[in-house]
Amino acid sequence: MSGAHTVMPFRSPRSGSDTTPRNDSMDDVLVSLRTSRDVTHNIRHKGQMRRVPSPQAVTIVLDKLSAVLFPTHYGQADLNQDAVEAFVEITLREALILLHEQVLSALLSTPDQEHLGPGEAQLKAASIVRGFAARLAEIRGDVVGDVVAAYDGDPAATGYSEILLSYPGMIAVLHYRLARALYLLGAKLLARVMSQIAHSKTAIDIHPGATIGSGFFIDHGTGVVIGETTVIGDRVRLYQGVTLGAKSFQTDGEGRLLKGHDRHPIIEDDVVIYAGATILGRIVVGKGSVIGGNVWLTEAVPPGSRVVQARMRNEHR
């Protein structure tokens, strides 16, 4: 059987008749699309095409890196002690080769890196990948701390394997810690692609620009949003539907949004934030505080606070 692809004609859903566009009609469509890309709706930086990272390739990188950190959980479940070392070495080499390609593409497609020539971009990509690889053991240690926090914080957890294999919050935090390392090394676009892949898998949105301490646990997790300039201390626990967001956006004299300024909350150590809570703006939630479910918080609270919704009053006596 030939490996050539067969192009199927368009068919009308009503009549089933062949509605394949005539060649001249197809030419018109192609011309209009080219005009949109190159002229009327051209959003390329300085109008030029650039290499961009591939989400499909980045997904493979994340899968391989996860397998490197936890070989039997995310790699091959039947590995024995003798085979682990070889598996990790091979998988790491494959991951780093592919990662270098994606870092390079990210650098070449980022406007603030446009000063780099092809050779300089290659060298910078190689430096980022080396720096990232050197941090993998540290990243694994951080993730292990998160696993332990999940086990200690959830009475339903039966063991570490359950958390690694079935907790969406764990997957999101693992991806965040990998993406965060690349973000700090200068591969910010690639880190954002990684965070979006985690978001699509888990419905948990953690910006790699956020700073998150050790022993972090997201229970259940669906709908959690953690903004770019959020700072989270150690041993913090969040539940589903929590938003750590911005209250307002500063603009310049012409009404354009200012980027990069601190606009998200600071959550100090040992804070628990229950389901549906929304905390907005550059405010501090003090150490050891508990924020109740569905609370809307835009003002700082001191250490040891307990913030809950006001009780509903019964007006009919």
- Four-way CATH pick for 223-311: 2.160.10.10, 3.40.50.300, 2.60.120.560, 3.40.50.1110: 2.160.10.10
Instruction: Answer whether 69's CB lies under 8 Å from 84's CB.
Output: no
- In whole angstroms, give the CA distance from residue 185 to residue 187: 6
- φ and ψ at residue 168, rounded to 5 degrees: -60, -35
Residue 90 CB contacts under 8 Å (≥ 6 apart), including other chains: none
- Give the model's pLDDT for residue 260: 72
Residue 242 CB contacts under 8 Å (≥ 6 apart), including other chains: 223, 224, 225, 273, 274, 275, 276, 277, 278, 279
Domain range 49-202, CATH architecture: Orthogonal Bundle (1.10)
Sites in the chain below the pLDDT cut of 50 = 1-13, 15, 47, 312-317
- Give the model's pLDDT for residue 265: 98
Residue 241 CB contacts under 8 Å (≥ 6 apart), including other chains: 222, 223, 224, 275, 276, 277
Residue type, 62: L
Q: Where are the domains of the chain?
A: 49-202, 223-311
Alpha-carbon radius of gyration of the chain: 24
